[in-house]
Each structure stands twice: as C-alpha cells, then as structure tokens.
C-alpha cells in the first residue's frame, strides 16, 4: 500500500464525496478513509457512496487493518483514528471528546494518520463550513505527507477549503476531477523512504492526549492557559502554541479552532438567553397568580404583583429582541 488517503468534508460533502469516488479506479493502490460531519444520528453514508464508487465502501470497524483498494468511513458518534501496529496500519474508533463541536471530526483522523503513515499520508479537504481539518492538514505536511483541497469556487460550502488555502502550504487546490487524477498518481508513486521525516513532538503529544482521553500534564507541554472557559464542560481552555490559526483544548479533551469556539460561544449565549426568557415567563405567571389570589380574597396584595408581572413581560420581550437581532 503506497499511500493512505484521508478525506474530510461537511456541508455539501455528500455530492463532493460521490463525485470524487466516482473518478477513482477500482485498482487504486491506496486505502481511503473518510470523515463527514454526520454527528450521532443514524447514517447510511457507505451505502449511498457505494452507488458511485468502484471501490468497496463500509463503516470502519475498530482495529481493522487498512488495506489498499478499500474505502473506510467514520461511523456516527465515533472519531476515526489510525494507529501503527508493527508493519500494519489499523483503524481505531474512539469516543474521545468532541473536536470543533463534532464527533466524528476531521482533525483527529488527519493528525493520527500523519504520525502513523510515515510520510505516506495524503490529506484532502472538501466542501464544508468553518475550518475543521486545517490543523490536521498542517500535521500531515509536517510529517512529509501531501495536502490537497477542493477548489473553493467549486465547493457548495467553500469555508473549509478556503481556510485550508489560507493556512496550509497545499500541494494541490483543484476541482474534484483533477484531485482524483492526482490521488491516482500519488497512489501509484513509490512512497518516501521509511523514517525520512521526523514526527514533531507536539504532534505525538496531542495524539496521546486524544488516545488517553485528556491529560493535563501533557496538555501543559504544548499549550498555555487562556482566558476562556470550555463551552462544553466549563474547564479552562488552553491555547495551543505550535500552530496557527489559533486552536484551544481543555484537559478533558474538547478542542476548538478559534472559529468553532466563537460559534460555540454564540450557542451558549443563545441557550442562556432562552433560559432567562423561560424563567421570566414563569415569574410573570406566578406573579399574576398571586395578584389574582389577592383580588379573590379581597385583600391588598403584599407586593405589587401586577407590576412584577409587567416588568417580567418587558424584560422577556427585550431578551427575545436580542435573540431575534
């Protein structure tokens, strides 16, 4: 097996993956691993992709050996990783913390194949929002592999390939048909000599953090505490110091690019505002109940319950206006 090809995509990725696989020959001397942001929901992605592919397509099985001429897909709610075991490369399914607010995520696959494949990795970023996969492509390049991105002008959602263009020294940025031709050439070209590229220590450490499910001491070796809290667990986020664009990790394993962190913070803010609206509506209802009971029993209310209810209504309306804006 000359090469290990890893492909990451998100929004717009179903069409892109089908087209890319449709261009690849049945005798491709490379293993292909795919991550699409399918989350935890039920998926028939392999069956759909098989309609377009001359190569067999299936969900990854934990510890299966990677072999040339096959397509392995990350299953729902599991990161797909790669590890070396002797001369063999194996797929590993992991329930480690979400990265970039998703599991499966692209970066963990790309990082682990960069370390395990000994310069034979080819990373491909296709259509999608934000920038999952950018850090993984950087890791592949750092280990002597090849970095490829779909032409953003062709992608249904151009953010991911565009961020790859901006942050990675790509070997190719092209439409899908040209990418498929290049992958076929790479797969049929002898790989670099074993051990030709040293694995950066920061990459080994980050991969170990993912494999161990989080490690504060290891994280402190490659990151510094930031001013931000992890929106997923509330712990301190550490800013990764080796690479740009900026990335963050907490010691339990959650990881974010700056872009995905910004999006997740917005989600937390919206959830907090909606919780406040709910509490105000409940307080309004209770105040109205107390006002009605006071009237029913013909006594002066102990407080201005009607006024409390009115203020709750006004404050809830203001918060709803913020959410709408």
CB-CB contact of 49 with 17 (8 Å): yes
User: What sign for the dihedral angle of Cα 29, 30, 31, 36?
Assistant: negative
Q: Please indicate whether residue 10 is annotated as part of the active site.
A: yes
**251 part of the active site:** no
| Order of all β-strands in the sheet with 247-250 | 223-229, 236-240, 247-250, 255-257
Catalytic residue among 107, 118, 131, 132: 132
Distance CA 325, CA 115 (A): 45
Other beta carbons within 10 Å of 30? 24
131 is catalytic: no
Distance set, CA 10 to CA 37, 88, 226, 300 (Å): 5, 29, 28, 62
**Tokens encoding 115:** 């370390």
Q: Are 243 and 142 in contact (CB under 8 A)?
A: no
Smallest CA-to-CA distance from 242 within 207, 211, 214 is with 207
Integer-rounded Cα Rg, in Å, for the chain is: 25
Tokens (6 digits) for 59 = 């969900």
Partners of 224 in beta bridges: 239
* Given the residues 10, 94, 127, 260, the one annotated as active site: 10
Residues assigned a catalytic role: 10, 37, 132
């Amino acid at each position: 097996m000359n090469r290990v090809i890893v492909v990451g995509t998100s929004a717009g990725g179903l069409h892109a993956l089908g087209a890319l696989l449709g261009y690849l020959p049945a005798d491709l001397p490379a293993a292909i691993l795919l991550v699409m942001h399918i989350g935890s929901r039920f998926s028939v992605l392999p069956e759909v992709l098989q309609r377009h592919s001359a190569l067999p397509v299936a969900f990854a099985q934990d510890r299966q050996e990677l072999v040339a001429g096959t397509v392995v897909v990350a299953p729902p709610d599991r990161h797909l990783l790669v590890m070396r075991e002797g001369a063999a490369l194996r797929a590993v399914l992991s329930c480690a913390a979400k990265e970039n607010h998703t599991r499966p995520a692209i970066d963990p696959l790309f990082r682990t194949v960069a370390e395990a494949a000994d310069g034979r990795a080819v990373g491909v970023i296709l259509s999608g929002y934000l920038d999952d996969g950018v850090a993984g492509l950087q890791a592949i390049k750092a280990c002597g592999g090849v970095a490829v991105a779909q032409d953003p002008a062709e992608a249904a959602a151009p953010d991911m390939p565009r961020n790859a263009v901006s942050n990675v020294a790509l070997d190719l940025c092209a439409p899908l048909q040209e990418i498929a031709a290049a992958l076929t050439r790479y797969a049929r070209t002898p790989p670099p000599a074993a051990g030709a590229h040293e694995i950066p220590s920061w990459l080994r450490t980050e991969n170990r953090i993912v494999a161990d499910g989080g490690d504060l001491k290891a994280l402190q070796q490659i990151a510094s505490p930031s001013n931000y809290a992890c929106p997923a667990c509330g712990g301190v986020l550490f800013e990764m110091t080796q690479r740009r664009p900026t990335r963050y990790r907490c010691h339990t394993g959650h990881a974010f690019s700056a872009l995905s962190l910004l999006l997740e913070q917005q989600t937390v803010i919206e959830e907090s505002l909606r919780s406040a609206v709910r509490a105000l509506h409940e307080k309004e209802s209770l105040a109205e109940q107390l006002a009605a009971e006071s009237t029913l029993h013909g006594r002066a209310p102990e407080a201005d319950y009607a006024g409390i209810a009115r203020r709750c209504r006004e404050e809830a309306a203001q918060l709803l206006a913020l959410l709408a804006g």
